[in-house]
Amino acid sequence: MKITKLTTYRIPPRWMLLKIETDEGVTGWGEPVIEGKARTVEAAVHEYAPYLVGQDPSRINDLWQMMYRAGFYRGGAILMSAIAGIDQALWDIKGKVLGVPVYQLLGGLVRDKMKTYSWVGGDRPADVIEGMRRLREAGFDTFKMNGTEELGIIDSARKVDQAVQRVAEIRSAFGDAVEFGLDFHGRVAAPMAKVLLRELEPFRPLFVEEPVLAEQYEVYRALADHTAIPLAAGERMYSRFEFKHVFQQGGLSIVQPDLSHAGGITECLKIAAMAEAYDIALAPHCPLGPVALASCLQVDFVSHNAVLQEQSMGIHYNQGGEVLDYVKNKEDFKLTNGYIQPLPKPGLGVEIDEERVIEASRNAPDWRNPVWRHEDGSIAEW
């Protein structure tokens, strides 16, 4: 079998899908994308095409190493997202050729179902109580929200109180019937992370995500010594060569590699295994589309330390497109009390409605995240 063609489709709300075709009619789908830089990743995917067309798609490991190493420069959000989507599509092809879900190729199921969580609130966390109330009716009990709005390197007691008050209201509304992660989203600098973690600790959030920016990873250790709240990060780390620094120095209780940013299934499996050796939990990041989610689930179902899966159904980013809009086998993505069953179909387990994708790609948005500024006009982390 030989790879014959790579086709990319940028689609609403802010995703990109990749179709890899072969000379035996088997096609695989991937989701290579960086939110806000879809066109850049698209260019990178097509720059990898000459390395791939004519090659045997079953040799995933060799193709992965070739894409990662043969171009001299390596790593980073764009190249690792391009490799991620290509890797996903190659695993999809392999599973379809052999007639089994990818997890069967990775040693089989390690659990019967996988717990997921839902976002509540939006960019500026609001109405989180109402959001949780609504999702609890659908059986969810685990959520994530942004922990703050813009926050200065040093900021006011009022801003801290706003963040704490929101969390206090959750606990007074639901007690310990809900769990929630707080995503600091890189908005919080080290000085304020210490303050917020101390003030939030009595309300026992399940985790605090990106407590500081990924480029400040050296701070994780000090923050972890300062709080009992489990610290989580990983969506802006792109390979096991980045994660290894975090494993060595400690500080994270949960790692959140993104299956569409960190080199795909081949790389994230290795990150998951490294994390397990350090007793660190895996909770793949996934605010994206159906192929990204399906790829996450393939890793979740073979990783002992997988504890939670982000899924973006109803997330505030999904304006103009929802996770299952482009999926034919919607029933396989059913969430029951927040849990999802292993995807039964061969490959990644997602049957893409290609006509819908092609139609939607005709009017692809150029989504970008908002540019935030502080009161003084300086740029704020979004």
Ligand X SMILES: O=C(O)[C@H](O)[C@@H](O)[C@@H](O)[C@H](O)CO
Give the nearer residue to ligand X in terms of CB position, either 267 or 351.
267
When asked if residue 258 is in the footprint of Mg ion (CB under 5 A), the reply is: no
Residue 279 annotated as part of some ligand binding site? no
- The burial of 379, by beta-carbon neighbours within 10 Å (0-12 exposed, 13-18 middle, 19 or more buried), is given as exposed
Residue 331 annotated as part of some ligand binding site? no
Amino acid identity of residue 314, one-letter, is G
CB of 165 to Mg ion, least distance (A): 22
Considering only residues 195-254, where is the footprint of Mg ion by CB under 5 A? 209
CB of 20 to ligand X, least distance (A): 24
Q: 42 contacts which partner out of Mg ion, ligand X, none, CB within 5 to 8 A by kind? A: none
Active site residue 285: yes
Give the nearer residue to ligand X in terms of CB position, either 179 or 183.
183
Q: 369 contacts which partner out of ligand X, Mg ion, none, CB within 5 to 8 A by kind? A: ligand X
**CA separation for the pair 134, 284 (Å, rounded):** 24
| Omega prior to 346 cis, within 30 of 0 | no
When asked if residue 31 is in the footprint of Mg ion (CB under 5 A), the reply is: no
Interhelix angle 77-98/290-300, nearest 10 degrees: 70
CB of 213 to Mg ion, least distance (A): 11
Residue whose Cβ sits closest to Mg ion:
183
Query: Which candidate in 46, 185, 316, 374 is catalytic?
Result: 185
Give the nearer residue to ligand X in terms of CB position, either 287 or 342.
287
Query: Which candidate in 46, 245, 261, 285 is catalytic?
Result: 285
Site string for Mg ion, 156-195 (x = CB under 5 A): ---------------------------x------------
CB of 209 to Mg ion, least distance (A): 5
Question: Which are the contacts of 296, defined by CB distance < 8 A and separation ≥ 6?
Answer: 259, 284, 286, 309, 310
The residues facing 22 across adjacent strands are 3
Interhelix angle 290-300/264-277, nearest 10 degrees: 40
Q: How far apart are the first and last CA of the chain?
A: 45
Active site residue 304: no
The DSSP code sequence of 329-376 is -GGGG-EETTEEPPP-SSBTS--B-HHHHHHHHTT-----PPPEE-TT
Give the nearer residue to Mg ion in terms of CB position, either 45 or 213.
213
- Which residues form the interface with ligand X (CB under 6 A)? 35, 183, 185, 235, 285, 287, 310, 317, 369
**CA separation for the pair 292, 360 (Å, rounded):** 18
The residues facing 20 across adjacent strands are 6, 28
Residue 235 annotated as part of some ligand binding site? yes
Binding site as annotated, residues: 183, 209, 235
Which residues have a catalytic role annotated? 185, 285
